[in-house]
Chains A and B, each alone.
Chain A
Amino acid sequence: MIDLFIIKALIAGVIVALVSGFMGCFVVWRRMAYFGDSLAHSALLGIALGVMLNISHNLAVMISSICFAAFLVWLQRKKVFATDTLLGILAHAALAVGVITITLLEQRIDLHGYLFGDILTVGNEQLWWLGIGGSFVILLLFFNWSSLVLMTIHEDLAMAENVRVARLEILLMFLMTIVVAVSIKIVGILLIASMLVIAPAAARQLARSPEVMAMFACLIGAISVVSGIYFSFELDTPSGPTIVATLAACFAILFPLSNFYRKT
């Protein structure tokens, strides 16, 4: 007999694996890993706000991430500093202010759980957030798939073929805020970026088309999440690091194949 909390953890984990499998492909193709990482860092400030205002943490993180992304785009347009510099400033400033705020609030908040994930305490509300948010992300990626792939290969070419590139770029950022918001509970703030990157990177070695890469990324992610949850439960280790370590092991096993594939 499997406990209900494990079943909930497994469902949550598999949804995160599917969402980050699809989203992660674009993170890898479009070099958005640092952006995702920064969004996740800024999420701690969102959580602090959520506690202060007594609203859902998912909602609070989404709002703070959207503000973060909008502020970033505004700074990027100034063209004074490179994006990674801006992200480095904003992300860690937000993380720092978030930690300070949470400390000052003097409420019992499981900081460790937010940083590294706490999948085994996933509740029904979180499952709803994951299900709805995750489906929303996957559906939007699905319906814009070929336009997104084309603009990733060549932006001007996509523009010439009537792809609304600027709009889709904003869409990708927006979807990223959702992914971050709904998966913090599962993998933790510090490890969301690796969840997005490792499975697609491992899948890249097996795929000859963008769609197959996304499918393999979902599959590798799901296998790693399920075995990660098992190990996390058995060894009583935090869920995020255990899942990411399993993902990294998958990547390490698949990586040697890349040399083999490049010749074909």
Chain B
Amino acid sequence: MLPLISASSVTVTRDNKNILDNVSLDVGVKDFITILGPNGAGKSMLLKCLMGFFKPESGKIDKKAQLRIGYVPQQFTSEQTMPITVERFLQLRKSVPMGDIIAVATETNIETLLQKPLHILSGGERQRILLARSLIGDPELLVLDEPAQNLDISGQLAFYKLLEKIYTTRALSILMVSHDLHMVMATTKQVICLFHHICCSGEPQVVTRDPEFVSLFGHDMAEMMAVYQHGHNHTHAGHSHD
């Protein structure tokens, strides 16, 4: 099957430094890809190139014709000066029937927030609202840029649980930049480690043992990931392992 979106040899240069160096990747139907990498590794830039905000210096990006993308951005601080309710925010620039808004609100568990002003909401509530907005219009691909960055642990857990539920019920594809690999270890199908170029990629269990992963994130991180996998295999597979 043709990929939904495909980047081949994408290179982005800023101030004579390659922010992205010859990066290629495909996002196919029902993929769940998590991009990992240290700060300043070019993760957000890669998403921005894929979304078409930036034209890379070289390489090209192919999209399936009329691909419906839902985007959940990184930070979201709502200004006190802008009076707007959640419901109105969800409808901005989107002419969708109220029924669709309510359906998406129920799916993301924000139906009680619809009449509230945006600026009084907590970080977790705001991320769920962004997720809801990205789901309007029935996207084939969700692109998330560190969606749970400013949330506390329980907020992160709740957010990723919701994301997994959406991934399984809607059967869409997900491309996400996230440091919280341990939270999505069970669901994510492919991990890409990015440090300007793609250092390693593959299934999470394989990637976390890759020497490149260890050199990028250190032994502690690799061991921590191994612990998460251990727990995961144990509870779900229910048989012994190494």
Which A residues lie at the B interface, using CB under 8 A?
A: 28-29, 146-147, 149-150, 152-154, 156-157, 159-161, 163, 201, 204, 207-210, 212-213, 262
Contacts and interface: CB of A to CB of B under 8 A. Distances in A.
Contacts of B84: 149, 153, 209-210
A163 B73 CA distance: 15
A163 B52 CA distance: 12
Given A147-B93, A160-B71, A160-B73, A209 B88 contact: yes
Given A146-B92, A146-B93, A160-B51, A153 B73 contact: no
A156 B74 contact: yes
B83 A208 contact: yes
Interface of B: 51, 53, 69, 71, 73-74, 76, 78-79, 81-85, 88-89, 92-93, 117-118, 120, 130, 133, 143, 145
Contacts of A153: 78-79, 82, 84, 89, 92, 118
A161 B71 CA distance: 8
State the main secondary structure of chain A at its contact with B: helix
Nearest to A258: B80
A210 B51 contact: no
B176 to A, nearest CB: 14
B202 to A, nearest CB: 28
B82 A29 contact: yes
Contact of A208 (B51, B85, B130): B85
A157 B117 CA distance: 19
Nearest to B143: A160
Given A157-B71, A208-B117, A149 B92 contact: yes
Interface pairs A-B: 4 shortest CB-CB: A160-B71, A156-B73, A207-B83, A146-B93
B32 to A, nearest CB: 20
A204 B82 CA distance: 8
